[in-house]
Amino acid sequence: MSNNITSLSLVETIEALERKEFSEEDLNSAYLERISTLNEKLGIFLEVKKNTSGIPAGIKDVIITKDIKTTAGSKILSNFIPQYNATVVERLLTQNISIIGKTNCDEFAMGSSGENSSFGVTKNPWDLSKVPGGSSSGSAAAVSADLCVFALGTDTGGSIRQPASLCGVVGLKPSYGRVSRYGLIAMASSLDQPGSFTKTVADSRKVLEWISGGDTYDSNAKESKFIPSTTLKNLKGIRVGVPQEYFEEGLDKGVEKVIREAINKLEELGAEIVEVSLPHTEYAIATYYIIIASEVSTNLARFDAIRFGNSRDNFGSEPKRRIMLGTYALSSGYYDAYFSKAAKVRTLIKQDFEKAFEKCDVIVGPVSPTTAWNLGEKISDPLTMYLSDAYTIPASLAGIPGLSIPCGFSEGLPVGLQILGKYMDDETVLGVGEVYEQATNWRKEKPKL
Amino acid sequence: MLTKDQVRHVAKLANLSLDDEEVEKYSQQLSNILEYIEQLNEVDTSNIKPTFNVSDNVNVLAEDQIGTSLTQEQALANASVKKDDFFVTKGVFNE
């Protein structure tokens, strides 16, 4: 019984509760039982709440939760108890969602493997010797291992899409401004965007409907709420752009094969495949690291141990590295050469997408150049780690929505298809993802734990 | 190339205390990253405006209204040092 309950999607769970197939108490105890068996092995939850009601969701530990310890994966916040909820959390609570736990993550959301947390490493449920991806490592692994119905994460340069891909779940980074950032422990404010990890695309749509919309506490949040429109039945009339730049050197052959097959499937479902070009892709990582490091160095200045938190000596090495890089880039005499230059290249990257979207409705390609890699493999070389985000960073710089959806396996490890859309056209991204999901069986594959 | 002295200077600006080993490590790693970033110079950005924000929201205004806020006790709840219901900071003039 309990295994059945925990394998249901959010939409299925809501329906089963309405039909009174099981109670909210049964639902919570089924998930709590699974957590007690698997959490230690996987390193997913930092805090677990033993609720008896509500629909259990996991919340990434950079999203603040009233009266529940929130560490952002950092020793600097090892005893921080927020006095209020993030807007996204507040909105979920009004929908009968309960917080089952706070999920592990790279410190201050900085990392691509989950290994930068100060509170232990999260393992990939598909292979415990592999990384789950990051920085929303625990949220992705939690949904993959059925330890919660869905989870919230944050995506700054791929921190939702990449771990979703590596853990074989659906991950949505909404358009920048679609969802309020109020109550996120900020990493890079011009890029940070909360989003979801779910078992299906229909679930992503539901969560986005709940968490989106204007917020007086975030001036970048657009007033208009996400309203789901009629779902697509097939892909007739949809133009799918394939950027050649996402299939060049560095892309693993096994991943490429799976992605090409997924594109063929989209064509079979009625889509018209068009070649598009995103010529500034190769400059995205350099642009991104200057912009985020600069924003990080200012955002993390607030950690002065006066109002909250421990002393700055408690920063781990990745936050320190980024604070150093950003402080240097913004320091007198270097601003024009670094930050200003990067902001201009960002314009060119954004224009690449605008031009490409004249020829297509969505753009598809790989999320990650490889499947999940071995724990420890890239940790000593920050630059190599940064390069693993090559396909997710450009969309973040442009602020456009991106979905990672399971599309197959390479050597037993999940591969995600990335679907990118026009700014504020989250609906088409979800629509295409849903048609693909319903025509394939990938979501039914579960890790053996 | 970022020298060790430059690393120490930047650390001071960023209010980070680094030990010698970290200074050595960051001097090398930051130099590698900056070298990688040099490639941006290949891009012609003359006449290109910078992008600092993609939401296009401009001057978002709100009515100035009195609302509920944290109590003093709540606001101080996470402070490690407090005195007479205030945060305690380092002195500016009398260190």
The pLDDT value recorded for residue A230 is 72
Q: What is the mean pLDDT of each run of 10 residues along chain A (449 residues)?
A: 82 98 98 98 98 98 98 98 98 98 98 96 98 98 98 98 98 98 97 98 97 95 86 93 95 97 98 98 96 97 95 96 96 91 98 98 98 94 86 98 98 98 97 97 92
Q: B89 CB near a chain A CB, below 8 Å?
A: yes
Amino acid type, A2: S
Alpha-carbon distance A191 to nearest alpha carbon in chain B (angstroms)? 8
The pLDDT value recorded for residue B95 is 54
Handedness of CA A358, A426, A188, A108 (dihedral sign): negative
Cβ pairs bridging A and B (under 8 Å):
135
Question: Contact B29/A382 with Cβ under 8 angstroms?
Answer: yes
The pLDDT value recorded for residue A1 is 46
Its CATH architecture, for the domain B1-39, is Orthogonal Bundle (1.10)
| Termini Cα distance of chain B | 35
Residues 10-69, chain B, touching A (beta carbon < 8 A): 10-11, 13-18, 22, 26, 29-30, 32-34, 36-37, 39-43, 45, 48-55, 57, 60, 62
Describe chain B by its helix, strand, coil percentages, rounded to 5.
40, 5, 55
The pLDDT value recorded for residue A48 is 98
Contact B45 A190 (CB under 8 A): no
Map out the domains of chain A as residue ranges.
2-444
Q: How many residues does chain A have?
A: 449
Map out the domains of chain B as residue ranges.
1-39
Distances (CA, A) of A187 to A50, A77, A266, A302: 30, 15, 35, 12
The pLDDT value recorded for residue B57 is 84
CATH superfamily of A2-444: Amidase signature (AS) domain (3.90.1300.10)
The pLDDT value recorded for residue A3 is 57
Contact B6 A328 (CB under 8 A): yes
Which residues on A lie below 8 Å from B22 (Cβ)? 317, 320
A9, A98, A117, A135: the catalytic one is A135
Which residues on A lie below 8 Å from B79 (Cβ)? 306-308
What is the spatial distance between Cα A318 and Cα A406, in angstroms, rounded to a whole number?
29
Phi and psi for A369 in degrees, rounded to 5?
Answer: -65, -20
Q: B2 CB near a chain A CB, below 8 Å?
A: yes
- pLDDT tier, B63 (very low <50, low <70, confident <90, very high otherwise): confident
Residue A188: which of A46, A346, A351, A333 has the closest Cα?
A: A346
Alpha-carbon distance A172 to nearest alpha carbon in chain B (angstroms)? 18
